[in-house]
Amino acid sequence: MDYEDLLAYKKSFALAMMIFDVSKAFPKEEKYSLTDQIRRSSRSVTVTITESYRKRVYPKNFLSKLTDAEAENSETQVWLDFSLACGYLEEIKYNELTALNTEVGKLIYYMMNNPDKFGSSKI
């Protein structure tokens, strides 16, 4: 198995791409604040999951990177909250993105709680 086969990778990548698409419609004045931040944090989840998988032979590094991925996922949720509150997302799209964000978080926690299933050992 490679990192691209991980369900957490696939779902987080899909979420990042969905966020990229919806954030194209955000106001220009948000370009260097909300738009950049939500894109950065959502992409960082996927990248950090990949880094964790590459470091899975080092259990503490595996867990550390997954903790970072979960933190970025939480940050993405806060930016989604701001996007809704500012009126940049319709509630139905917000709910869709939030549901996928929650699912990604659960997958990250699964990896953290079951490191042996990913070629790592319990810490």
- The answer to whether position 34 is within a domain reads yes
Q: How confident is the model at residue 68 (pLDDT cuts 50, 70, 90)?
A: very high
Domain count, the chain: 1
- The answer to whether position 21 is within a domain reads yes
- Which of the two residues, 32 and 69, has the higher pLDDT score? 69
- The answer to whether position 82 is within a domain reads yes
The three-class DSSP label of residue 25 is coil
Question: pLDDT tens digit string along 6-16?
Answer: 999 999 999 99
- The answer to whether position 70 is within a domain reads yes
- The answer to whether position 42 is within a domain reads yes
Question: pLDDT tens digit string along 89-103?
Answer: 999 999 999 999 999
What one-letter code names the amino acid at 51? E
Give residue 119's pLDDT.
82
DSSP-derived secondary structure for 64-90: HHHHHHHHHHHHHHHHHHHHHHTTSS-
Question: pLDDT tens digit string along 21-43?
Answer: 999 999 999 999 999 999 999 99
- The answer to whether position 108 is within a domain reads yes
CA 107, CA 64: separation in Å to the nearest integer? 15
Mean pLDDT in residue range 66-77:
98
State the CATH number of the domain containing residue 60.
Answer: 1.20.1440.60
Q: Which of 30-34, 107-111, 116-120 has the lowest mean pLDDT?
A: 116-120
Give the closest residue to 38 by CA, choosing from 104, 82, 91.
82
- The answer to whether position 123 is within a domain reads no
- Pair 63, 115: CB distance under 8 Å: yes
CA 111, CA 87: separation in Å to the nearest integer? 34
Quote the domain boundaries for residue 66: 3-118
Give residue 61's pLDDT.
95
| Global model pTM greater than 0.85 | yes
- Which of the two residues, 2 and 43, has the higher pLDDT score? 43
The three-class DSSP label of residue 121 is coil
- The answer to whether position 18 is within a domain reads yes
